[in-house]
Structure formats: structure tokens, C-alpha cells
Amino acid sequence: MNSDLRSELHKKAEQAWPDLELLIGWQAGYDDLHTTPVFIRDSAEISKLIWNPWCTQNLAVYVAKHFAASSGKDDKKIGVCVKGCDSRSLIALLQENLVARERFYIIGMPCKGIVDLRKLHALSGAARILSVQVNAEQVALKSAAGVLHFPLDEVLMRKCRRCRYPNPLIHDVLVGDPLTPRTDAHEAYNDVAAIERLSLQERLAFWQGELDRCLRCYACRNACPLCVCQDRCIAETRDPKWLTQYMHLPEKFMFHFIHALHLAGRCTECGECERVCPMEIPVALIKEALNKITLELLDFEAGLDPQRVPPLLTFDAGETGI
Amino acid sequence: MRIGVFVCQCGTNIASTVETEAVAREALQHPDVVYATSYMYTCSEPGQQQIQRAIQEENLQGVVVAACSPRMHEPTFRRAVEKAGLNRFMFEMANIREHVSWISNDRQANTRKAAELVHMAVAKLRFNHPLSPSRVAINKRVLVIGGGVAGIQAALDCAEGGLEVVLVERQPSIGGKMAKLDKTFPTIDCSSCILGPKMVDVAQKENIRLYACSEVESVAGYIGNFSVQIRRKATCVDWNLCTGCGLCMEKCPAKKVPDHFNEDLGNTRAIGIPFPQAIPKKATIDKEHCRQFTRGKCGVCKKICPVGAIDYEMEDEFISEDFGAIIVATGFDLFDHSSYGEYGGGRFPDVISGLQYERILSASGPFGGHIQRPSDGRQPRNIVFIACVGSRDASVDRPYCSGVCCMYIAKQAILTRDHLPDSNCYVFYMDIRSPGKNYDEFVRRAQEEYGVNYIRGRVGKIYPKNNHLIVQGADTLLGAQVEVEADLVVLATGVEASAGARELAEKLRISYDQYGFYMESHPKLRPVETNTAGVYLAGVCQGPKDIPSSVAQGSAAAAKVQALFSRDTIETSPQVALVNERACVACGKCIQVCPFGAIQWKELRGGIQKAEVLPSVCQGCGLCNATCPPKAVQLQHCTDNQILAEIDVLCA
């Protein structure tokens, strides 16, 4: 499905290269099911770029954490490939003045959805996956046990099944044609609504069960494009001492809720925190719940309009509706 | 740290429902507490001496007093520990009166809660650091906003004391509502005769600069150092040239312009001076009605003006001034009675507001002081006054008493009977509120000497019939229905917050109540101060009041400013935000949320950006601290570690 788009990506990257010092994209990983980020500093490496439903990483994460402050040589820019969801992270960084728009050349990739490897493994059972073919709406999974066919929807990541922004909202060039969104704002928070329907006791029990598994590896934090405190995260500082290093449930709760509160009105729902969690805790749900509140209360979604200031980053005495 | 704990009994205020001895005993168990005692009145002279003695004898490094609200006595105790040689910020107060003894009778639960509050205070104190204030110079200029009688009084009193005063008035003339009144109660002296000289004084005082037709655009800074931008609205007349001769007003061809000074009872011209005694006596063009602006041609005033003062191209001008203090005297507006459908909802020309009737009574009013009906100019015979229109009425969201209506109705009824001895005056009232010097006697005179008919009851309906207005009401004392065939109905329209009061409050960062009246710092003990240091209140902007009270408050505000300015510098509180540069990740969120503009970028060597707090601008609200993700911004004396320590002991 992607050979046309891949050559279009290569062509557009070649065209842009004279203005770039670095291009961040995806390359093939150690097997067909994995991709890894690639940092291209030589035009000969452009052919490494790939684009397929496994290109899962949100490359915007590198933008604020590593390249925001560096200034380009000869005004050269940093190119970055973004899916619809990733583009919102970039816009959120712009909204907070954490990056400068003119520093980046944005290659937008309209995205039909990213495959969730965990779902694939669950469907294949114990058998080793040999190869996977993705056609328009179908997935053919070949394993030692034979070939299985699934609708694409069934193996997509949770964030993709509730995707409202398949097309990059900010880009200098687009690879492929724009797509129609899968859901609207109303449906997008169905997962949160399902949790909200639980009684308080059930909800507490649910989160106690989930968060008890947390290892405090901080992968969720490190993968978040908007967690900008870097090595000053208050989960690890001693002054002020908000958290201890004990592996108690209250400390785990505290960490996750501080993380979520720091993202209130900022989270762009790229789902990276949830994807990278080795314990498969649905941590993105907490942030989605806050986003739902932000949308209802303040009519704001992070990462849509670069000009808008996130409501929790302003002081407006005349603010209504609160 | 060596900590002493002093538990106050507050006579029986605390001791009756809290076992203060037990609270003190338990405090001794907490780490670092080396001394604890309970005393009858800790705030008294011997109580303070007990603290000071303990600091000396026990070598205390920190003191906790468990007593009343810190708003009450924190300054007292801080001074006390400072006299004994401690830094005043090595002191914490636990409120076991307002938060404990006064709100419950459960002795056991109260004692437990008091002990916990003391424990929290001790836990916090262990993280306290000595802090010292810095001093900033005071700019000894004062801004008075609003040129009604309260603002005029405040400006004159400040100027009398030698201060430089700037008076900003949004109307073309100062004088405010008082300038529109005919006579004043209870002495029936002429309003403009007593106000006029004060207005002239404002114009003549060399140290008062008057900006009429101007509004406060923005306010920055803090006590001692406010920086204010003032918008001078385009009058289209160069006031440096205008002599106030009034020729333009005579010749202006736009003759059907509603006369706002006369409460729209008559017409005026599109250019002119609002009233003969106006200060400054300068002409202003009403762009809404001026033919030069509505039709694009006319130019009569420009041709006729002997000094060539007319400038149609004039635009709003902005000027910046610095002040050390601000007096707010923005006055009030009258309730719009059109929301009372039963009184005609503003549709009957002969149902008028109290202020409209003032203009009718006034010799400089639309009818030259002759009482006549606005509809046909006929002299009314039966005049009905209705009290509490837009006052004491929750259905129109005005549950408060406007305080002046009972008195002004009595005055208007007396004046009516004076002007028209054959007339009949009826007053429908709910209660008579006349608690002022000679006020009740005045109302009695209206009833007894002037024969005004006072009917206790509400009016249910007014409707027109045969060129009269039928007023239907109840006489609740007789328990009967009353119907009066009136020629003129005067509604005692109440007082409400001035239009734009809320917007101004937000610029000044002062608070207001749900009706838009500005909040004083303490309803009894600090009636002139606001909670923003250096901003004072005068007149009705703070709540309904009459002329004597407004004048008194104007003088009081001036006295506060004089007291402030008697010093050359003021201490700024060290309870401000501080950035730990090592922890700052330069995300800039604190800069965005700071309501006072107190945080800015600072560049370190190598071009590294960090946030920096301007301590003299910071008000210590803590928004930056709440917003800062790595908690690099900490509010001094209220740090995260201090709050976490309090929570820890509470949850332990």
C-alpha cells in the first residue's frame, strides 16, 4: 500500500534537503513489525525513510527536548515527519513558545491508523508472527499456525480508533491525500465516559488495580512530547520533596496524577505514554479525562490553533464558565 | 530548632470549647518543641511578655501561637517576637478560634482539631527561614478616580496637605450626581451652591491636575509606585483654546440631542457645556449626534468658534502618569426602572425617576424650576412618590437598601408642597429609613408640617386613564386597597454600581461584591482601604451612602493617603515568589500566568534563559508556583515543602 507514498516521501525529502541540516523520520526496525526513528544528516540516507502503519513513534518528542534551543547553521532547518496526532504535539509546543516555527520544516503524513503490536500478538495467539500484509481495510497475518485475516480496525491502536485528526494540522508539505476523520468529539471520549459510569468505589478499584503495576520506570514521562522538565521532574527531586522513592501505591498515584495535571489542557492525546508503558497501564485515559473537562469547561483542545494560548497558561479575571 | 508553643484561651472564647492545657501538653510531644504553655490572653501585654521571656530563657528559635485568625493578630505577635530578637517570619499562627472554638461545641473534637492545627503549624515552622523585607521609595502623587463630591473632597484634602493630585473624571465636567440635585436633605440648601465652590477650588488649586472626559485605561505597579495610563477621550474641541463662551452651543443646528445632564427630559445641542457651573467650562462635541459626524458635513461650530478650537479630527490621547496611591470614587448609577412592568416599564412619560424629578425641581433644569409634567407641560395636582424601586427587592436582584431614597422623597415632597401649595403628595413606602442627624425630624416635618400623605404599602400597578395615571396600591396599615388618580409619579429609583465598575476593579485588582460595589478591606475597621495596598475607596462606589457620608469617606481616604505619604519609603513583603534557577526549565509558563507582570526573563551567561521574579511587583498570589511543573518557583514563607510538611503530619 505504501510504496507510492514512500517514493513520494523520498521525493519531497530530496526537494527539501537543501534547506535542512537534519531530518527526523522513521526507518525499518529489526523486523517487519518494528520501526525506529532515524536522524538523517546526509542526503544519501533519505532512502532509509519509510512510511507504513507501523510508524508509531511521535517524533515531536525530540523537538522540544533536544532541538528547541539549538540554532541552525546557515539558517538551516530541522525537518520532522509528523502524523495528524504528532502535529498537534508540535502545535502545542508552538502554543507554549517552547519551539520556534521557523526552525522546523514539517513533513505531514495523513495517517489511516497505526497497528497495535499487542493486539496483533494477542490475535495470533502463541504462534510466532512470520509476516503481516496490510491492504486497504484488511490485515493478513501469517504465522506458524497459518494465515489469519482481520479487519484493520480491529488491530489499530486505541488512539487511532478514536482519531479525529488523521491529517497533520500544521505542515510545510503533505505526503499523500487528506483523509476523513474517523470520529467526532462526541465519540472520542467514549473510553473516558465508560470509566466515568463506574461508581466511585469501582473507579478507585480500577485505578488501584492498574496503577499498582506501575514500575515507576518513567517511560510514559520520557515519551511525552510535552513533558519538558527533563531531569528536573518533581518525581525525582528532593527539593521540593513531593514524592519518595518508595514503591507504594500512593506514590504511584501521586506520580501519575501529577503527570496528568501537568498536562491538563496541554495533552494532545498522541498516546505515546500508553504505548510505551511496559506494564500496559492505560495511563492516557487519565489525561483524556482532563482533556474532556477542558473541552467542556473551557472549549479548548490543545494543539489545534498555534495562535491560541492554553487556558491554564493565562490569567483572565473575566473568565466565564468556571 | 527550638520551638515554643503558646495556646491562647482568649478569655472563654477558646477555653470554653477547647482544652487549651491539653493542646499545649500534646504540643510538647512534637519534634523540636521545647516549651509549651496556655494563657488567658496571649495578645495582652503580659501575654506577649510571656512569649518574649520564653524566647530569652528557653533560647527559642521559633514561636507558634494558637489563637485567633492571623488576620487579627499575626502582626501583633510578629512584632512581639521581633522585639525579643527573632526574625518575624520565625513565627506561625494556628487559628483555633474562628476555625475551631467558634464553630463547634464538641469539646473533644475541638481539642483534637486544635491540637492538629498546632501540630501543622509546628511542622511548617520547622521549614521557616528568616526573611527580611526590602524598602522602596514612595512616589508622593495621588490619583483620584471620579470627580463626584467624594472624589472632589478627597482631591481637595490631599491638595490641601500639599500633595500633587491628578483627578480623572469620565464626564466632561466634575460634580457627579450631586451637581444634578436641586436641594439637599435635611437642610434644604441648594446643592450647586454648596458643591459649586468646591468644584471651583478643584480648578484653582495649583497642585490638582484635572483630566475631565478621561478614563483610566490600565494600572500597573504596586503601592508607592503605580503607573497608570489615562485615556483622554476626543472632545473634538481643543480645551487649551476653548474659553467656554458658548457661542458654538447657540449656533449648533442639531437641536434634538437628548440632554443627559437633564436626565433626557429636554434637548440640548450636539456641542456644548453640560451645565452653567461646569468645571472645566469647556465645550465637547457629542459625536453620536453631531452633523459633521452623522452626515459628514456641517462645520457650523468650526466657523463660529472665535478661537478656532474645533478639531473634528481629534483622536483619543493616552498619557502615562505615576502615582504612589489611588483613591477610587467612581460613584453610582441609578437603577433603570424599565424592568418594573407594573409601573409602565418606562413607557409612561409621566412616570419618572427620582433624579429626573430633581432636574424638574431645579431652577437650571429643563423647565426652569417650574413643576410640570414631561408629557404635556401641565402643572400636576396629585403627585405620587413610590419608594424602593430597585431597592430591597430580590426579584430585580437588588435586595439591598439604597439608603438615600426615603430621605430624598421626603425632600422632594416638601419642595413640591412648597412650589405648589395646592398639590397633594402621596408617598408609598415600605419602611422609613432615616437614621441620620436631623433626618427623622425631617421626615416628620414632611408628614406633619407639609401634609404629605404617607401610605405604607407597595404599589401594584400604574395605568393611564383620561390623561391621568391611576396608581393602585395597598395600605397595609389600614388593610385596604388605595387608588390615587395621579398626574405625575416619581419612582424613588435606587442606587446601583456605576457602569464599568467591575472592569475598573479588575484593572485596579480590587474586589467587588455581587452587585459591583467595591469591597473594603474590613467592613468595620478598614472601611476606606481595599485589599490592594495603596488603593482606597470613597463614596458610593463602596456602597450606597448619602452626601455627608461620601464627603467623610473622601476625607478619610485623603487622610489614609497623607499617612502613607508621611513616610519616604515603604517595606515590601518578603512573602513573594522566588525562582530556583537551577531547577527552572525555562518553559515560561509562570510569565504567562502572572496577573501582575511580576516575572520576566533573565539571561545567564551563555544565553541561558531563566525566569526571574521582580519582588517589588510580586503580590505573592502563588499562581506561578501552582503552574511551574518542576516547582522551581517557590512562594517564600509558603513553600511546597512547608505545605507538604503540614499535610504529612495531618495524614500521618
- How do residues B538-560 score in pLDDT, each as one tens digit? 999 999 999 999 999 999 999 99
- Is B640 an 8 Å CB contact of chain A? yes
Cell reading at B464: 393611564
**Mean pLDDT (whole number) for B88-93:** 96
**Mean pLDDT (whole number) for B347-360:** 96
- Co-location of B444 and B349 in the same domain: yes
**Mean pLDDT (whole number) for B48-64:** 96
The pLDDT score that the predictor gives to residue A317 is 65
Instruction: Sort out which chain A residues have CB atoms less than 8 A from B508's CB and list them.
Output: none
Of A155, A175, A205, the position where a domain reaches its end is A155
- Co-location of A127 and A268 in the same domain: no
Q: Which residues have a Cβ under 8 Å from the Cβ of B368 and sit 6 or more positions away? A: none
Q: Which of A262, A315, A318 sits opposite B629 (nearest CB)?
A: A262
Among B508, B555, B516, B554, which Cα is nearest to B534's? B508
Is pLDDT of A265 > 80?
Answer: yes
**Closest chain A residue to B585 measured between Cα atoms?**
A229
Q: A246 CA to chain B: closest CA distance, Å?
A: 15
The pLDDT score that the predictor gives to residue B54 is 97
Residue B492 binned pLDDT confidence (cut-offs 50, 70, 90): very high
Position with higher pLDDT, B606 vs A217: A217
The pLDDT score that the predictor gives to residue B353 is 96
Q: Kindly state whether residue B279 falls inside one of the protein's structural domains.
A: yes
- Co-location of B408 and B535 in the same domain: no
The pLDDT score that the predictor gives to residue B324 is 96
Q: A221 CA to chain B: closest CA distance, Å?
A: 13
Among B484, B163, B480, which Cα is nearest to B327's? B163
Instruction: Sort out which chain A residues have CB atoms less than 8 A from B506's CB and list them.
Output: 317-318
Cell reading at A28: 525499518
pLDDT digits (tens, 9 = 90+) for A116-172: 988 888 887 777 888 888 877 888 888 887 888 888 888 899 999 889 999 999 999
Q: Which of A229, A239, A315 sits opposite B593 (nearest CB)?
A: A315
pLDDT digits (tens, 9 = 90+) for A20-60: 999 999 999 988 889 999 999 999 999 999 999 999 999 99
Cβ–Cβ gap A315/B506 under 8 Å = no
As a whole number of angstroms, the distance between CA B66 and CA B94 comes to 4
**Closest chain A residue to B609 measured between Cα atoms?**
A69
**Mean pLDDT (whole number) for B354-383:** 95
3-state secondary structure B380-413: CCEEEEEEEECCCEHHHCECCCCCCHHHHHHHHH
Q: A232 CA to chain B: closest CA distance, Å?
A: 6
- Co-location of A139 and A175 in the same domain: no
- Co-location of B25 and B105 in the same domain: yes
Instruction: Sort out which chain A residues have CB atoms less than 8 A from B618's CB and list them.
Output: none
Residue A319 binned pLDDT confidence (cut-offs 50, 70, 90): low
- Co-location of B398 and B460 in the same domain: yes
pLDDT digits (tens, 9 = 90+) for B148-203: 999 999 999 999 999 999 999 999 999 999 999 999 999 999 999 999 999 999 99
**Mean pLDDT (whole number) for A15-20:** 94
Is pLDDT of B100 > 60?
Answer: yes
- Co-location of A112 and A180 in the same domain: yes
**Closest chain A residue to B607 measured between Cα atoms?**
A69
Instruction: Sort out which chain B residues have CB atoms less than 8 A from A315's CB and list them.
Output: 592-595, 623
As a whole number of angstroms, the distance between CA B265 and CA B285 comes to 20
The pLDDT score that the predictor gives to residue A2 is 58
CB interface of B with A, residues 582-601, below 8 Å: 583, 585, 587-589, 592-595
Q: Domain range for residue B263?
A: 247-304
Position with higher pLDDT, B606 vs B564: B564
Residue with cell 530578637: B85
Q: B412 CA to chain A: closest CA distance, Å?
A: 41
As a whole number of angstroms, the distance between CA B314 and CA B306 comes to 19
As a whole number of angstroms, the distance between CA B271 and CA B118 comes to 69
Q: Which of A233, A312, A318 sits opposite B506 (nearest CB)?
A: A318
Residue B134 binned pLDDT confidence (cut-offs 50, 70, 90): confident
Position with higher pLDDT, B596 vs B472: B472
The pLDDT score that the predictor gives to residue A1 is 46
Q: Residues of chain A whose C-beta is under 8 A from some C-beta in B? A: 96-98, 227-230, 232-234, 237, 239-242, 262, 309, 312-315, 317-318
As a whole number of angstroms, the distance between CA B5 and CA B344 comes to 67
- Co-location of B538 and B460 in the same domain: no
Cβ–Cβ gap B587/A232 under 8 Å = no
Task: Name which of B585, B638, B642 to mutate to probe chain A: the one with the most chain A Cβ atoms within 10 A of its Cβ.
Answer: B585
pTM of the model: 0.71
Among B386, B328, B353, which Cα is nearest to B265's? B353
**Mean pLDDT (whole number) for B9-25:** 96
- Is B642 an 8 Å CB contact of chain A? no
The pLDDT score that the predictor gives to residue A72 is 61
Instruction: Sort out which chain A residues have CB atoms less than 8 A from B587's CB and list them.
Output: 96, 98, 228-229
The pLDDT score that the predictor gives to residue B345 is 85
Q: How many C-beta atoms lie closer than 10 Å to residue B565's C-beta? A: 20
Q: A81 CA to chain B: closest CA distance, Å?
A: 24
Cβ–Cβ gap B593/A314 under 8 Å = yes
- Co-location of B606 and B479 in the same domain: no
Could you write out the DSSP letters of every residue in B68-136? S-HHHHHHHHHHHHHHTTS-TTSEEEEE-IIIIITT---HHHHHHHHHHHHHHHHHHHTT------EEE
- Co-location of B382 and B460 in the same domain: yes
- Co-location of B320 and B383 in the same domain: no
Asked if B120 contacts B30 with a C-beta cutoff of 8 angstroms, the reply is: no
Is pLDDT of A258 > 80?
Answer: yes
Task: Name which of A71, A224, A234 to mutate to probe chain B: the one with the most chain B Cβ atoms within 10 A of its Cβ.
Answer: A234
Among A175, A242, A245, A250, which Cα is nearest to A217's? A245
Cβ–Cβ gap B588/A96 under 8 Å = yes
Cβ–Cβ gap A97/B588 under 8 Å = yes
Among B457, B391, B435, B383, which Cα is nearest to B414's? B383
- Co-location of A122 and A190 in the same domain: no
Torsion of CA A270, A271, A275, A278, to 10 degrees: 130
- Is B249 an 8 Å CB contact of chain A? no
As a whole number of angstroms, the distance between CA B368 and CA A26 comes to 88
pLDDT digits (tens, 9 = 90+) for A267-296: 999 999 999 999 999 999 999 999 999 999
For chain A, what's the residue count?
A: 322
Cβ–Cβ gap B630/A309 under 8 Å = no
Task: Name which of A236, A315, A320 to mutate to probe chain B: the one with the most chain B Cβ atoms within 10 A of its Cβ.
Answer: A315
Cβ–Cβ gap B639/A97 under 8 Å = no
Q: B123 CA to chain A: closest CA distance, Å?
A: 14
Cell reading at B434: 432615616
- Co-location of B272 and B388 in the same domain: no
- Co-location of A140 and A72 in the same domain: no
Q: Domain range for residue A44?
A: 3-116+156-312
**Closest chain A residue to B641 measured between Cα atoms?**
A240
Q: Strands B3-8, A173-174: parallel, antiparallel or unpaired by DSSP?
A: unpaired
Instruction: Sort out which chain B residues have CB atoms less than 8 A from A234's CB and list them.
Output: 629-631
- Co-location of A144 and A197 in the same domain: no
Q: Kindly state whether residue A322 falls inside one of the protein's structural domains.
A: no
CB interface of B with A, residues 501-560, below 8 Å: 506
Q: Kindly state whether residue B648 falls inside one of the protein's structural domains.
A: no
Is pLDDT of A321 > 60?
Answer: no
Cell reading at B246: 458658548
Of B438, B466, B496, the position where a domain reaches its end is B496
- Co-location of B474 and B419 in the same domain: yes
Backbone angles phi, psi at B432, to 5 degrees: -95, 125
Q: Kindly state whether residue B571 falls inside one of the protein's structural domains.
A: no
Count of domains in chain B? 5
- Co-location of A179 and A143 in the same domain: no
Task: Name which of A66, A232, A251 to mutate to probe chain B: the one with the most chain B Cβ atoms within 10 A of its Cβ.
Answer: A232
Among B590, B372, B629, which Cα is nearest to B488's? B372
Cell reading at B264: 433626557
Q: Kindly state whether residue A21 falls inside one of the protein's structural domains.
A: yes
- Co-location of A80 and A226 in the same domain: yes
Q: B639 CA to chain A: closest CA distance, Å?
A: 8
Cβ–Cβ gap B588/A314 under 8 Å = no
ipTM of the complex model: 0.86
Cell reading at B569: 519609603
Is pLDDT of A320 > 70?
Answer: no
Q: How many CB pairs under 8 A join A and B?
A: 56
Asked if B564 contacts B325 with a C-beta cutoff of 8 angstroms, the reply is: yes
- Co-location of A126 and A204 in the same domain: no
As a whole number of angstroms, the distance between CA B490 and CA B575 comes to 55
Cβ–Cβ gap B583/A233 under 8 Å = no
Residue B623's domain is classified under what CATH number?
A: 3.30.70.20
